[in-house]
A and B are shown apart, each in its own frame.
Chain A
Amino acid sequence: MTGRVEGKVAFVTGAARGQGRSHALRLAQEGADIIAVDICESIPSIERYYAGSTQADLDETVRQIEALDRRVVARKADVRDFDELKAALDEGVAELGHVDVVAANAGVFAFGDKTHEVSESDWQDVIDINQTGVWHTAKAVIPHLIEQGTGGSMILTSSTAGLKGTPNVAAYTASKHAVVGIMRTLALELAPYRIRVNTVHPTGVATDMILNEAAFKLFLPDVEHPTKEQAAAVFESTNALPIPWVEPVDISNAVLFLASDEARYVTGTELKVDAGYTIK
């Protein structure tokens, strides 16, 4: 039976673990081949929150995709480095023949400082990865999509923080709002080529990005070593549905819908997968 993105090639950034790995797998399950990139490194300003991904993580993503009998081209690449990112994508397109779907997923989460106390470098790292990295991803892939002349679907990962504000999360919130601006601009520019561009907006997702003590302390500042269970109760209070966080596959199912021809006329939209976070 034909998969929902059968025969397509999907470019996924931040594919070593978490949501990125999940998107790569979900798309592969539905018949796509994958071009996967990840920085595979810790970023110094993010280390105080959670450890970065590794080459072993990316290798595991590759192993799981190949176990589905799909092809994958994986490269270590930093979305802040346009030339490096473009080279990785071009190699993937050369090997797999084309690119049709883009999941601009690579991102970091930083938090805790009042906006007027954030350091220059902390601010810049988040903007460079979450915002400029998304632009770089689009910049690298668009020439391919236009030349191919067969349309395409770009899904940019924003956040509930791309729609609402949260104290002490300035750079992340700014960068995720910016992703919406990039999406809207691209959707208008690329519509004549039938290239669709949309954003996804997750609430908290059960990955290393939030399942760490630093993130728990954001919600339980008075507890010295908050546990996952304690944090879960607070996370749950922010959502409308009675859950603390969604699973990566929930975002992947939204990415899959947007990537497929089922959404052939969906463009310029913000797809929230947020358990009602933004309507509370």
Chain B
Amino acid sequence: MPGRVEGKVAFVTGAARGQGRSHALRLAQEGADIIAVDLTGQIDTVPYAMSTPADLDETVRQVEALDRRIVATQADVRDFDALKGALDAGVAQLGKLDIVSANAGIFSFGTLDELTEEQWSDMLAVNLTGVWHTVKAAIPHLKANGGGSMILTSSTAGLLAIPNIGHYVAAKHGVVGVMKTAALELAPFNIRVNSVHPTSVNTDMIQNSATYELFAPDLTPEQRTKEALAPRFQTLNVLPIPWVEPIDISNAVLWLASDESRYVTGLEVRVDAGQLLK
């Protein structure tokens, strides 16, 4: 029985682990081949350990275990030429491009008066400019393909504001701007562009001591366990859960990537356990 994206080729950034790996796997499960990139390295202003080459290798292994093809390259979304080179090589190998998941992103914190130049510029460079670079690199391939679907990963922080992450909020709001502009510009080419807006997702981006400190500054480091932090995260949501799983975002990405959503464009899909209702 054909999968919901059978025979399509999907470009996923930040695919080494977390949401990106989950999107690559979910799309592969439904019949897509994958072009995967990831920095697989550390950015100084990011206060948690970022992905490694071994992570990207594991994504490759898991996609291949589903009997799908995957072309994986180390590439930095801040470097347009490198990103384009990786995508072009993937398209050359796999034949075309249908789907783009602009997922690569980082998280760090500080109030607007305390943030350093470097924290701000790293955040905007990866979470906003990196998304534009991904879109820019993909457009010629999607046009050649006669159409396609791009899903840009924003956040609930792309729709509302949260203290201590002003640069993240700004970048994720910016992603919505890129999304809507791209949706308008590319509609005549049958290319759809939408965004996904997760609440907290159960990955290394939030499950780390730095994020725990942000959510529970009143607890000692020893007290800041995952169990102790769960109720703190849960206060953001309306459904009684602390965080969603990567698969929940991947299911939204899959729906947007597939022909089931063939006339959906310019939409912010929230997978947020009701966070925006509050």
Interface of A toward B, CB cutoff 8 Å: 1, 184, 187-188, 191-192, 194, 196, 203, 239-243, 246, 250, 253-254, 256-257, 262-269, 271-276, 278-280
Contact = CB atoms under 8 A, between A and B. Distances in A.
Nearest to B275: A268
Contact of B241 (A242, A265, A275, A280): A265
A276 B274 contact: no
B265 A191 contact: no
Nearest to A26: B260
Contact of A188 (B188, B265, B274): B274
Going nearest first, the 4 A-B pairs with the smallest beta carbon separation are A279-B266, A240-B187, A262-B251, A253-B260
A123 B29 CA distance: 50
Given A276-B184, A280-B184, A267 B273 contact: yes
Contacts, number: 109
A171 B255 CA distance: 33
Contact of A191 (B192, B240, B263): B240
A262 B244 CA distance: 12
A158 to B, nearest CB: 14
Contact of A250 (B251, B262, B267): B262
A142 to B, nearest CB: 17
B255 A257 contact: yes
Interface in B57-71: none
Given A253-B261, A280-B184, A263 B251 contact: yes
A241 B244 CA distance: 32
Nearest to A280: B184
Contact of A271 (B183, B267, B273): B267
17 contacts: A1-B1, A239-B187, A240-B265, A240-B266, A241-B265, A246-B263, A250-B263, A253-B260, A254-B260, A257-B255, A265-B248, A267-B273, A267-B274, A267-B277, A268-B272, A274-B267, A276-B187
Interface in B228-266: 238-241, 244, 248, 251-252, 254-255, 260-266
B79 to A, nearest CB: 30
Interface string B190-209: 10100000010000000000
Given A188-B277, A263-B251, A269 B270 contact: yes
B269 interface: yes
A250 B252 CA distance: 16
B270 A254 contact: no
A30 B277 CA distance: 30
A276 B265 contact: yes
A272 B266 contact: yes
Contact of B255 (A196, A240, A262, A265): A262
A280 B184 CA distance: 7
Contacts of A1: 1
Contacts of B188: 242
Interface in B93-127: none
B180 interface: yes
Given A188-B238, A241-B192, A262-B254, 6 more contacts: A188-B274, A192-B240, A257-B255, A265-B272, A266-B269, A276-B184
Interface in B137-183: 180, 183
Contacts of A187: 238, 274, 277
A196 B274 CA distance: 9
A76 to B, nearest CB: 32
Nearest to B248: A265
B276 A268 contact: yes
A266 B184 contact: no
B131 interface: no
Nearest to A258: B255
B239 A241 contact: no
B128 interface: no
A108 to B, nearest CB: 23
B274 A241 contact: no
A262 B63 CA distance: 21
B263 A241 contact: yes
Contact of A184 (B187, B262, B277): B277
B271 interface: yes
Nearest to B4: A4
A273 B264 contact: yes
Given A265-B244, A272-B267, A279 B184 contact: yes
A191 B187 contact: no
Contact of B184 (A184, A240, A256): A240
B244 A242 contact: no
Contacts of A262: 251-252, 254-255
